[in-house]
């Protein structure tokens, strides 16, 4: 049997959530939050606000939220309509499975993470426009004008901004500086006037392709002109009477999240307590098994058949649950993907959550992958390009920058979208909106969203504490449990090690942005992650 329950001692991360009666916007950059709130105050809906926030973050959070990348938007309108808008990047048509391998078949360091060969075709501009035209009520020019103003007039750099900018190539920015971006303002003005055509068929695409060609990249005008967004059916699952709506492939987020929840649903976490030995053991073991499946079975649905129904089947969850020892860690070397073999078939991100006065909800997670992406800006376009090609499998069995060891279903093919971990999620109960959440964090995104949900549903935390709480992560390979300071007591760490777990302390990760709706009063409660101090949760 498990050792006796010991509650973890933690650092001081408790705080009250933001409270607003009608509407709430939560982002990791206060300028962007205010832009979203202003749109809502002037009659725009949650999707309008999301579009405005998306462009504002491209100015004030250039490491992460950026028009040089791509992502996902999950929309739930107050009348029950749901849409998952996929604007994930695509591989250039000239990309092949051996793109990053030398003549001996070995992965060439940094080729998939730095420079133009690392760049996938960005999707953010087309994704935001699709959302606006389908669900929004305001003009593109009106929604982009705040971002253009921030780029042209500048914004004050805060202390946390300065910390982030230390890793930005080619610039020195200090706290207290006013950062103006005239090139980016011109690019955004062009998009506001001409829409996606400016980005995918006009001067912006031309500048990116020219720079790519000059620096040994393979992007072409055909890659840009052929780019398209998808609308997909969200993943659905239930947990303790709550209904979850989340991200389907090419995101692994919703499937892996729901698979974990399916495995752990019978366990009494509320009785065991937050990050107790029992809670930690069973959650980590469920994560270990779900990530083994994630890394093996999932990929771009345009290229592979994803076994979503099998992975989320209750019997399959019971099978995985039965394989968990009550008192020992299962070595990852002994955890095979649970569906058996399959036939071969040809960390920096940002997330935000919005709820308007009508009850429309939007969760957006988008990215340029690593901090400042591939580290390149094409000509005078003014924005960093992604290094999203690293999210593909450069070589089966070789980890990517996030340590994820993936299989051939996520291999590199021209026009393919790389498998993602982004997990924008909306939760309802009895048909009523309850929670909106998401986070950056690379391969850890899924477990961040999991812990945020568990903190609210299982442990009764307020939403601010739920996003603040120290985190734990396990992704099958490497066979190590990562934890933030304060996640475990000394006694719990000793118990976990005695059970066979390898533990590794990591300073911090992710930036969860969440909203909970008080089921009795309808009050919007917002939580912005303490890990990004420039963030803000507010509304009216």
- Quick one: CATH architecture of 232-346+422-435+442-514? Orthogonal Bundle (1.10)
Let me know if 349 is a catalytic residue: yes
Residue 448 pLDDT > 90: yes
* For residues 210-236, average pLDDT: 98
Q: Is residue 51 a contact partner of residue 203, using CB atoms and an 8 Å limit?
A: no
pLDDT in the model for residue 2: 40
Of 10-19, 135-144, 432-441, which gets the smallest average pLDDT? 10-19
pLDDT in the model for residue 347: 55
Angle of CA points 466, 472, 475, to nearest 5°: 125
255-309 pLDDT, tens digit per residue, is 999 999 999 999 999 999 999 999 999 999 999 999 999 999 999 999 999 999 9
Q: Which of 33, 124, 349, 393 is catalytic?
A: 349
Alpha carbons 466 and 78: distance in angstroms, whole number: 25
Q: CB within 8 A of 484, min separation 6: which ones?
A: 470, 471, 472, 505, 506, 507, 508, 509
- The residues spanned by each domain of the chain are 48-64+78-230+371-410, 232-346+422-435+442-514
If pLDDT is split at 50, 70 and 90, which confidence band does 65 have? Answer: confident
Q: Is residue 456 a contact partner of residue 463, using CB atoms and an 8 Å limit?
A: yes
Quote the pTM value: 0.95
pLDDT in the model for residue 405: 87
3-state secondary structure 7-62: CCCCCCCCCCCEEECCCEEEECCHHHHHHHHHHHHCCCCHHHHHHHHHHHHHHHCC
Residues 381-404: b if buried by 16+ CB within 10 A, e if exposed: bbbbbbbbbbbbbbbeeebbbbeb
**Average pLDDT over the chain, rounded to an integer:** 95
Q: Count of residues for the chain? A: 540
388-441 pLDDT, tens digit per residue, is 999 999 999 898 888 888 989 999 999 999 999 999 999 999 999 999 999 999
Residue 7 pLDDT > 70: no
165-207 pLDDT, tens digit per residue, is 988 887 789 999 999 999 999 999 999 999 999 999 999 999 9
Q: Is residue 369 a contact partner of residue 349, using CB atoms and an 8 Å limit?
A: yes
- Percent of the chain past pLDDT 70, that is, above it, reads 96
Is the alpha carbon torsion for 235, 419, 506, 493 positive or negative? positive
482-493 pLDDT, tens digit per residue, is 999 999 999 999
pLDDT in the model for residue 341: 63
328-381 pLDDT, tens digit per residue, is 999 999 999 978 664 433 356 899 999 999 999 999 999 999 899 999 999 999
pLDDT in the model for residue 340: 66
Alpha carbons 39 and 96: distance in angstroms, whole number: 43
pLDDT in the model for residue 47: 98
pLDDT in the model for residue 397: 87
80-124 pLDDT, tens digit per residue, is 999 999 999 999 999 999 999 999 999 999 999 999 999 999 999
């Amino acid at each position: 049997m498990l050792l006796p329950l010991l509650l973890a001692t933690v650092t001081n991360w408790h705080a009250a959530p933001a409270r607003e009666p009608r509407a709430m916007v939560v982002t990791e950059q206060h300028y962007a939050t205010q832009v979203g709130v202003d749109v809502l105050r002037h009659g725009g809906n949650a999707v309008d606000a999301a579009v405005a926030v998306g462009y504002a973050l491209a100015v004030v959070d250039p490491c992460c939220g950026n028009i040089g990348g791509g992502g996902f938007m999950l929309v739930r309108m107050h009348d029950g309509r749901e849409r998952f808008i996929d604007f994930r990047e695509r591989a250039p048509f000239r990309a092949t499975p051996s793109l990053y391998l030398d003549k001996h078949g070995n992965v060439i360091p940094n080729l998939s993470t730095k420079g133009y060969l690392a760049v996938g075709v960005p999707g953010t501009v087309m994704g935001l426009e699709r959302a606006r035209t389908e669900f929004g009520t305001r003009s593109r020019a009106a929604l982009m004008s705040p971002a253009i103003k921030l780029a042209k007039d500048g914004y004050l750099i805060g202390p946390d901004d300065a910390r982030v900018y230390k890793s930005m190539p080619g610039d020195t920015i200090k706290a207290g500086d006013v950062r103006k971006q005239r090139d980016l303002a011109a690019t955004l003005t062009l998009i506001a006037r001409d829409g996606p055509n400016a980005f995918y068929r006009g001067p912006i695409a031309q500048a990116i392709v020219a720079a790519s060609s000059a620096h040994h990249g393979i992007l072409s005008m055909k890659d840009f002109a052929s780019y398209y967004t998808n609308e997909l059916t969200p993943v659905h699952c239930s947990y303790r009477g709550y209904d979850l709506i989340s991200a389907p492939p090419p995101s692994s987020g919703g499937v892996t999240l729901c698979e974990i929840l399916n495995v752990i649903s019978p366990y009494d976490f509320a009785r065991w307590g937050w990050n107790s030995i029992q809670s930690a053991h069973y959650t980590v073991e469920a994560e270990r098994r779900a990530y083994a499946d994630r890394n093996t079975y999932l990929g771009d649905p345009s290229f592979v058949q994803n076994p979503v129904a099998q992975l989320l089947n209750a019997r399959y969850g019971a099978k995985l649950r039965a394989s968990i020892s009550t008192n020992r860690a299962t070595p990852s070397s002994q955890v095979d993907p649970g569906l058996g073999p399959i036939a071969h078939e040809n960390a920096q991100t940002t997330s935000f959550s919005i709820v308007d006065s009508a009850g429309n909800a939007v969760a957006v997670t988008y990215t340029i992958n690593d901090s400042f992406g591939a580290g390149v800006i094409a000509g005078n376009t003014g924005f960093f390009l992604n290094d999203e090609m690293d999210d593909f499998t450069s070589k089966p069995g070789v980890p990517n920058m996030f340590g994820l060891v993936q299989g051939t279903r996520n291999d590199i093919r021209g026009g393919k979208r790389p498998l993602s971990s982004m997990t924008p999620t909306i939760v309802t109960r009895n048909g009523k909106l309850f929670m909106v959440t998401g986070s950056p964090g690379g391969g850890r995104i899924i477990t961040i969203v999991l812990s945020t949900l568990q903190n609210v549903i299982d442990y009764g935390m307020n939403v601010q504490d739920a996003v603040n709480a120290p985190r734990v992560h396990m992704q099958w390979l490497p066979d190590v449990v990562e934890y933030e300071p304060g996640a475990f007591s000394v006694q719990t760490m000793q118990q976990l090690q005695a059970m066979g777990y390898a533990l590794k302390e990591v300073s911090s990760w992710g930036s969860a942005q969440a909203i909970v709706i008080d089921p009795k009063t309808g009050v919007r409660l917002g939580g912005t992650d303490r890990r990004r101090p420039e963030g803000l949760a507010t509304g009216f």
